[in-house]
Amino acid sequence: MKFAYIHWHSYGIKKIPYLSAFLSPDFTVCKTLGNADIVIGWGNRPTTNKARQMAAKKGVPFVALEDGFLRSLGLGDTPPLSLCVDDLGIYYDIATPSRLEKLILRGEVDGEKARQAIDLIIQNKLSKYNLAPSFRLPETNQNNQPRVLVIDQTYGDVSIAGAKSDKNTFTQMFQAACEENPNAQIIVKTHPDVFSGKRQGYLTEIAKKQGVTLLYDNANPIDLLQQVDRVYCVCSQMGFEALLCGKSVTVFGAAWYAGWGLTDDRHPEIHRLQHSDRREPRTIEQLFSAAYFDYCRYVNTAGERTTLVEIINYLIYIKNFHNLVRGEVYCVGFSLWKKAAALPYFRLPECRVHFVSSIHKIKDLSKKTKIVVWGVKNKAAEQFAAANHLPLLHMEDGFLRSVGLGSNLVAPLSLVFDDAGIYFDPNRPSRLENILQNYQFNNKNQQDIQVLIELLQKNKISKYNIQGTEIAPNAAGKRVLLVPGQVEDDMSVQLGSPNIRTNLDLLKAVRENNANAYIIYKPHPDVLSGNRVGHIPLDECHKYADEIATNADIFSCIEAADEVHTMTSLTGFEALIRHKKVHCYGIPFYAGWGLTVDEVACERRNRCLELWQLVWATLVAYPAYIHPQTQQFITAENAALCLLAQKQNTGGGKIHRNFFSRNFGKIKQLVKVLLMK
- Amino acid code (one letter) for 337: W
Q: Is the dihedral of CA 12, 17, 21, 22 positive or negative?
A: negative
40 or 593, higher pLDDT: 593
Helix (H, G, I), strand (E, B) or coil at 141: coil
Partners of residue 30 on adjacent β-strands? 5
Residues 266 and 178 in one domain: yes
Average pLDDT over residues 464-482: 90
Spatial contact of 402 and 412, defined as CB atoms under 8 Å apart: yes
What pLDDT, on a 0 to 100 scale, did the predictor assign at position 7? Answer: 66
84 or 23, higher pLDDT: 84
Residues 98 and 163 in one domain: no
**Domain end point (choices 259, 281, 303):** 281
Q: Look over the chain and give the mean of its residue pLDDT values, rounded to a whole number.
A: 90
DSSP 476: T
Among the ranges given (32-46, 60-74, 233-247), the one the predictor scored with the smallest mean pLDDT = 32-46
Does residue 444 form part of some domain?
A: no
Among the ranges given (47-51, 184-188, 552-556), the one the predictor scored with the smallest mean pLDDT = 47-51
Residues 545 and 575 in one domain: yes
Does residue 151 form part of some domain?
A: yes
Residue 658 pLDDT > 50: no
State the total domains in the chain.
3
Closest C-alpha to 23, from 81, 85, 78 = 85
Residue 288 pLDDT > 50: yes
Does residue 301 form part of some domain?
A: no
Partners of residue 40 on adjacent β-strands? 6, 63
Alpha-carbon distance of 82 to 63, in angstroms, equals 16
143 or 43, higher pLDDT: 43
Among the ranges given (166-175, 417-426, 559-568, 621-630), the one the predictor scored with the smallest mean pLDDT = 621-630
Residue 148 pLDDT > 90: yes
447 or 667, higher pLDDT: 447
Residue 434 pLDDT > 80: yes
Residues 66 and 189 in one domain: no
Alpha-carbon distance of 625 to 634, in angstroms, equals 5
**Domain end point (choices 219, 252, 281):** 281
Residues 468 and 515 in one domain: yes
Residue 424 pLDDT > 70: yes
Partners of residue 395 on adjacent β-strands? 374, 417
Does residue 513 form part of some domain?
A: yes
**Domain end point (choices 225, 259, 281):** 281
Does residue 463 form part of some domain?
A: yes
Q: What one-character-per-residue DSSP string does 82-101 give? A: EEEEESS--TT-TTS--HHH
Residues 522 and 614 in one domain: yes
- Amino acid code (one letter) for 63: V
Residues 246 and 147 in one domain: yes
Residues 98 and 147 in one domain: no
Does residue 385 form part of some domain?
A: no
Residues 621 and 516 in one domain: yes
326 or 194, higher pLDDT: 326
Residues 588 and 465 in one domain: yes
Residues 202 and 67 in one domain: no
Among the ranges given (57-61, 430-434, 505-509), the one the predictor scored with the smallest mean pLDDT = 57-61
Which strand (E) or helix (H) includes residue 441? none
CB contact set of 139 (below 8 Å; sequence gap of 6+):
none
Spatial contact of 305 and 21, defined as CB atoms under 8 Å apart: yes
**pLDDT range class, residue 660, cuts 50, 70, 90:** very low
Does residue 567 form part of some domain?
A: yes
Q: Which domain covers residue 189, as residue numbers?
A: 126-281
3-class SS shares of the chain: helix, strand, coil, % to 5: 40, 15, 45
What pLDDT, on a 0 to 100 scale, did the predictor assign at position 142? Answer: 64
pLDDT in tens, 597-606: 999 999 999 9
**pLDDT range class, residue 534, cuts 50, 70, 90:** confident
Spatial contact of 266 and 54, defined as CB atoms under 8 Å apart: no
Among the ranges given (70-79, 250-259, 272-281, 334-343), the one the predictor scored with the smallest mean pLDDT = 70-79
Average pLDDT over residues 212-219: 90
What CATH number should be reported for the domain holding residue 549? 3.40.50
Strands (E), 234-385: 248-251, 264-265, 296-299, 305-306, 327-332, 351-356, 369-374
CB contact set of 676 (below 8 Å; sequence gap of 6+):
none
Model pTM score: 0.87
Does residue 319 form part of some domain?
A: no
Among the ranges given (79-93, 422-436, 532-546), the one the predictor scored with the smallest mean pLDDT = 532-546
464 or 262, higher pLDDT: 262
What pLDDT, on a 0 to 100 scale, did the predictor assign at position 48? Answer: 86
Spatial contact of 333 and 378, defined as CB atoms under 8 Å apart: yes
Residue 363 pLDDT > 90: no
User: Pairing mode, if any, of strands 213-215 and 305-306?
Assistant: unpaired
Residues 35 and 164 in one domain: no
